[in-house]
Structure 1
Amino acid sequence: MVASRWLPLPILLTLLLGMPAWGQASSARSLLAELRRVGVRVTQACEPGLLGSFSDRRREIRICPEAHDSDEEVFRTLVHESWHVVQSCLANRGRVGTRRARPIARLRPDLLPKMLRETRRSDLRIVRSQYAPEDQLLELEARWLENYPEVVENGLQTICR
């Protein structure tokens, strides 16, 4: 069970001290293995206009490779959607479930200034204009963590069972 005010030390240290490091990013294969372990499948079927999506009810991430300009963008989207899996685990006692997802920033509000500083302005505008207020922090967090694939993989390993 995940304690309500506890973050695994490797995640906390990376979030507070780490810099985005694409050169040291977890491989897509490793991330996909963690997703399989927690019972989430990854497919390539998408609705037009989407880069990717996560459905907790279907336990599925959908990635839309044709909507991306590069393999790096596809990987970033996989990382982003994988963080939504971790958010689901936070709300569902370590398992992917249908209870409303929970952002880590609710447990660690001191991370919010770092998130706002490091997230692209264009992403901040999209979050504010295209997401309901109750979903904005979830989306902001996932967009920020696109830059930290090692944190996302660690979150899958330590928060999701």
Structure 2
Amino acid sequence: MRTQSVILASLVSSSLMMALPLQAQQVSRHNPYNINSCNYSHYWVNNQGKCIDLHEPNITRYNGYEEKFFKALKKIGIVLSYESCEPGLMGHYKPFYNRLTICQNNRRDFSLYIETLAHESWHVVQDCATGLNNERVAPIFNSNSSRFRASISSLKSSDWKDLNLYESEDLPYEVEAFFMSKHPDAVLEALEVCSANITRKK
């Protein structure tokens, strides 16, 4: 429970601070950054207070993230594998084995690949919240919180199509993971918190 609280506190003080809807304004597509306000369903505020357009295409957005995830996962002892999977499956995480798998045969583009790494790495964070080396995972967001509601409101129709494939008891975990897949920096920060807690326990 302490690890879960530390991870959540880290996110609250990090780049995932969501803007309040009371100050929401439409940010120009030609100027995706706005220090003062942003629509929390379509934008997020980074730790410099800049409003980032999540819909703005940016082919260089994820440069360097593959190596960052490799290092972060290795640091906490997660095994990363690339395998052929059933059609449509992008990746999965097995908490009992601390094993994250990317489905190489279904990889379509680099951005989706990084978002899959972030999605599955968020399941690592959920696993870390209950302690690694077990089968237990825990959602990080409170289901009654504004952060959880914001994550739901930001999901696309394609995300909901995928979510409909899951059992109802898995939805709190998966909604978070789908939301966090668009925020790799915040996922990496949470993995660092996980690593720090593991180090302290040794």
- TM-score bracket for this pair, using the shorter chain length: 0.7 to 0.9
Q: Displacement of 1:65 after TM fit?
A: 2.3
- Matched with 1:136 is 171
- Matched with 2:12 is 12
- Matched with 2:73 is 35
- Matched with 1:71 is 110
- Matched with 1:48 is 86
1:122–1:24 Cα change, 3 Å:
closer
Residue 129 of structure 2 aligns to a residue in which SS?
A: helix
1:151 corresponds, among 186, 193, 198, to 186
Is contact 2:115-2:182 (8 Å) kept? yes
Larger Rg: 2
Structure 1 residue runs of 5 or longer lacking an equivalent are none
Please give the root-mean-square deviation of Cα atoms over the aligned residues, in Å: 2.4
Residue 2 of structure 2 aligns to a residue in which SS?
A: coil
Q: Which has the higher contact order (CA 8 A, sep 6+)?
A: 1
- Matched with 2:155 is 119
TM-score by length of 1: 0.84
Aligned residues: 157
C-alpha separation between the residues in 1 aligned to 2:82 and 2:128?
23
- For residues 104-151 of structure 1, what are the alpha-carbon distances to aligned partners after superposition, in whole Å with 9 as ceiling and x for unaligned? 113772211110121112212321x21111110100100000110000
The structure with the largest helix share of the pair is 1
- Matched with 2:34 is none
Structure 2 residue runs of 5 or longer lacking an equivalent are 19-44, 46-51
Q: Summarize the alignment of residues 96-111 of structure 1 with structure 2, pairs less than 5 Å apart.
A: 96-106=132-142, 109-111=145-147
TM-score by length of 2: 0.69
1:123–1:107 Cα change, 3 Å:
closer
Report sequence identity in percent. Answer: 21
Name the aligned partner's letter for residue 157 of structure 1: E
Name the aligned partner's letter for residue 17 of structure 2: L
